[in-house]
Amino acid sequence: MHISNTMSELLKKGANIFFNKRSHLVTIKSFLLIVFLFNSFISFAKEIVISPGEDAQERLQEALILMNEGDTLIIKSGYYSFEDGLSLDVNNVTVIGEGMEETVLDFKNQQSGAQGFLVTSDMVTLQDFSILDAKGDALKVIGSKGINMINLKTEWTGGPKSTNGAYGFYPVESEDVLIDGCVAIGASDAGIYVGQSKNIIVRNSIAQYNVAGIEIENSYFADVYNNLASHNTGGILIFDLPDLPQQGGHHIRVFDNKSIDNDTDNFAPEGNIVGEVPRGTGIIIMANSDVEVFNNLISGNGTVNLSIVSYGDETDDPNYYPHPKRIQVHNNTYGPSGFDPDIQTGELAKSLFEISNGNMPDIFWDGVVPLSQMIFGQPNEEKLIVSEDSEVNFLTISPLKYILGFSNPIRTEKEEFAGTVEPLSPITIDGI
């Protein structure tokens, strides 16, 4: 470990000389003030360098604990193998490698720790390294205010397997979350998962061969853009679940993404909500409010390009609203979809296949609203808006007609959903 604070040491020595000579008190005081000022400048410039080699695990973990606010920890290029998880709990620091292909943190020999790398502090930047084959989640961030994940990779190298860890990138209960230029491969739940967080930007990233590529869950104010989600089971998921400290997910913009060719069989361990996502899903929006989906390319998804659904299971949570509302879908480009529906997984594909008689749509809304709205209609301001080219196929169900056994409970004309799009405001993070 190399710490370049020789300047401050010199100044401290200077102060000692003054003390020894018992010089004039005022001089010492003003000198100490100078030392203090210099010290605070210098501490901002401190760099700590870790290189591969013996005891790298202990050296790196010790550096992560002992670094001070303002410091930068550089992990030199090379291969690092760990038996235990790493963790960081110092505010306002940067941990930077020399590239996601160059600085490799490998956890396949991990013996303890529920994740590869755990961050619990604020104002942290992690950049330019990769985390491979963690036993649990790869990178978990809990309760952080200001977390930047830039040009990082998380991967399970054995391909999609149910024994892979759940999440690649896993910020939870955090605020001001940036995921930029990252790559997530092989997670048995979601490659990039943001849960119970606020003020989020996920951009310029790639998620492949995960169950869910990118998932925003129980979160407020998120921009998801310019990402590629391909060869997952489902590309991009915007979910809200009951019985959690933060729920009522809202204000999510999903735009300029490519969610294409999501064709990996669902390999989530049973019991997880994403285990119900059918192979070949482009984007799903479940039980969120104020979601705007636009300018995306959604194509090659064998079940359905875009689904908008309610939370389907029973819940006694009185504070939970299980239906999507104020969802706006416009100006997306749709490629082939519905050509290989995954009727084996969950209920969605099977029901849709039956209801549509095999004519799978590009966009599906399950039409489920509270009972009073089924009878008296939805308030205008809560209605789904679909503003797409005329050739884009749309399908929704009238649950009331369906329950009452009407011969034709489905509607495919999207004209009645062509309201006026009211764009959501962009997300900004200070300093980004």
Please give the residue ranges that form the binding site for another protein (CB under 8 A): 57-59, 61-62, 64-66, 83-85, 87-89, 110-114, 118, 120, 134-137, 142-143, 162-167, 170, 172-173, 188-189, 193, 195-196, 241, 243-246, 268-273, 313, 316-317
Q: In this structure, which amino acid lies at residue 264?
A: T
* C-beta of 136 vs 322, nearer to another protein: 136
CB of 142 to another protein, least distance (A): 7
CB of 119 to another protein, least distance (A): 10
* C-beta of 110 vs 299, nearer to another protein: 110
CB of 392 to another protein, least distance (A): 34
For the purposes of burial, counting CB atoms within 10 Å of the CB of 381, is it exposed (0-12), middle (13-18) or buried (19 or more)?
Answer: exposed
Please name the residue that has the structure tokens 């010290």.
39
* C-beta of 87 vs 204, nearer to another protein: 87
Q: In this structure, which amino acid lies at residue 151?
A: N
Residue 371 phi/psi, 5-degree rounding, is: -50, -45
CB of 137 to another protein, least distance (A): 7
CA–CA separation, 30 vs 333, rounded Å?
68
Helix (H, G, I), strand (E, B) or coil at 39: helix
* C-beta of 188 vs 345, nearer to another protein: 188
Contact indicator for 167, 420 with CB cutoff of 8 Å = no
CA–CA separation, 426 vs 222, rounded Å?
8
* C-beta of 40 vs 162, nearer to another protein: 162
What does DSSP assign to residue 186?
Answer: -
* C-beta of 145 vs 401, nearer to another protein: 145
Other Cβ atoms within 10 Å of 101 Cβ, number: 13
Q: Where are the alpha helices (DSSP H) in 21-163?
A: 25-44, 56-66
List all residues 6 or more positions away from 104 whose beta carbon is below 8 Å from its beta carbon.
78, 79, 80, 129, 130, 132
* C-beta of 245 vs 431, nearer to another protein: 245
CB of 382 to another protein, least distance (A): 27
> For strand 394-397 and strand 410-411, is the pairing parallel, antiparallel, or unpaired?
antiparallel
Residue 411 phi/psi, 5-degree rounding, is: -130, 140
CB of 114 to another protein, least distance (A): 4
CB of 169 to another protein, least distance (A): 12
